[in-house]
């Protein structure tokens, strides 16, 4: 069955693609979104539910009304992510949750849908700069969380990063880290010492209390098809309730 809340309101570009592998064995449904390379594509090919390996028409730019997760509150131009399992818009990346675009308008907690601009940078060349702001709970950080999902055929290159402790000073852990994979090894691209991660203090990569790799390696390309993650070194992070991650990065074709 189609997702009735998904309504196309503006369209700029279409193409034919082959549907990817299914997520949680769920068929691709009109209104669904998946990644084609590093572009989110919106499936709106009639009323067909389809499996993997099927050629369908998709749209990769335009504004669409999507169902949103319960209670979502978002600012205008805030990043929007599509939960491919629950088929709703959420505010942070994760497993089977992909970046799709930005909120066209501010959204209060009541409405169950929101207008999202798909791939707001209309033409994405082989190398393109992006920026995200993601607020993670300390529980998510302690468990390890995805900031940027792996993109088949593409790699990330960090340009800058900032972290801000929210709700209190970070404590107990040695550092809060932004991690990537370089030469098949997981490395701390940025390690923010909790001694400096006091409430509301902005720690900037490479400045005091925010260590980067030697010889500029933090700003070298990461491996193709690998994620950028948030984690901690040492004991679990405590006292602070959340940490904001502001990450500037480049997506490069392999």
State the pairing for strand pair 33-36/7-18: unpaired
**What would the pLDDT profile of 9-46 be if each residue is shown by its tens digit?**
333 456 777 888 888 888 888 888 888 766 788 887 66
**What would the pLDDT profile of 173-227 be if each residue is shown by its tens digit?**
999 999 999 999 999 999 999 999 999 999 999 999 999 999 999 999 999 989 9
**What would the pLDDT profile of 131-159 be if each residue is shown by its tens digit?**
888 899 999 999 999 898 887 678 899 99
State the pairing for strand pair 170-182/145-148: unpaired
On whether the CB atoms of residues 40 and 34 are closer than 8 A, the answer is yes
């925010």: which residue's tokens? 210
Residue 173 structure tokens: 């852990």
Could you tell me the residue ranges of all domains in the chain?
A: 7-118, 127-253
> What is the C-alpha separation between 25 and 45, in angstroms, rounded?
20
Its pTM stands at 0.56
According to DSSP, the residues that pair with 136 across neighbouring strands are 243
Q: Tell me which DSSP letter residue 222 carries.
A: P
| Class in CATH terms, 127-253 | mainly beta
In this predicted structure, the answer to whether residue 234 has a pLDDT above a threshold of 90 is: yes
pLDDT, mean over the chain = 86
Q: Which of 244, 111, 114 has its CA nearest to residue 178?
A: 244
> What is the C-alpha separation between 40 and 59, in angstroms, rounded?
9
Q: Is 53 buried (19+), middle (13-18) or exposed (0-12) by CB count in 10 A?
A: exposed
Residue 107 structure tokens: 């959204």
């Amino acid at each position: 069955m189609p997702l009735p809340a998904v309504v196309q309101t503006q369209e700029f570009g279409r193409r034919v693609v082959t549907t990817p592998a299914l997520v949680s064995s769920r068929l691709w449904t009109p209104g669904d979104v998946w990644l084609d390379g590093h572009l989110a594509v919106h499936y709106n090919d009639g009323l067909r539910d389809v499996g993997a390996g099927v050629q369908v028409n998709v749209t990769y730019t335009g504004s669409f009304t999507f169902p949103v997760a319960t209670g979502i509150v978002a600012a205008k131009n805030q990043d929007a992510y599509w939960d491919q399992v629950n088929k709703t818009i959420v505010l942070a990346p994760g497993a089977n949750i992909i970046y799709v675009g930005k909120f066209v308008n501010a959204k209060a907690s009541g409405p169950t849908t929101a207008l999202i601009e798909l791939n707001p940078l209309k033409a994405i060349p082989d190398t393109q700069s992006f920026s995200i702001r993601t607020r993670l709970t300390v529980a998510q950080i302690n468990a390890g969380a995805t900031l940027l999902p792996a993109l088949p055929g593409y790699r990330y290159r960090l340009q800058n990063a900032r972290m801000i402790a929210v709700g209190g000073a970070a404590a107990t852990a040695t550092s809060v880290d932004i991690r990537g994979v370089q030469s098949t090894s997981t490395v701390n691209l940025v390690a923010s010492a909790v001694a400096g991660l006091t409430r509301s203090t902005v720690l900037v990569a490479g400045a005091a209390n925010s260590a980067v790799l030697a010889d500029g390696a933090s700003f070298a390309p990461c491996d193709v098809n690998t994620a950028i993650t948030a984690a901690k070194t040492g004991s679990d992070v405590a006292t602070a309730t959340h940490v904001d991650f502001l990450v500037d990065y480049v997506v490069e074709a392999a």
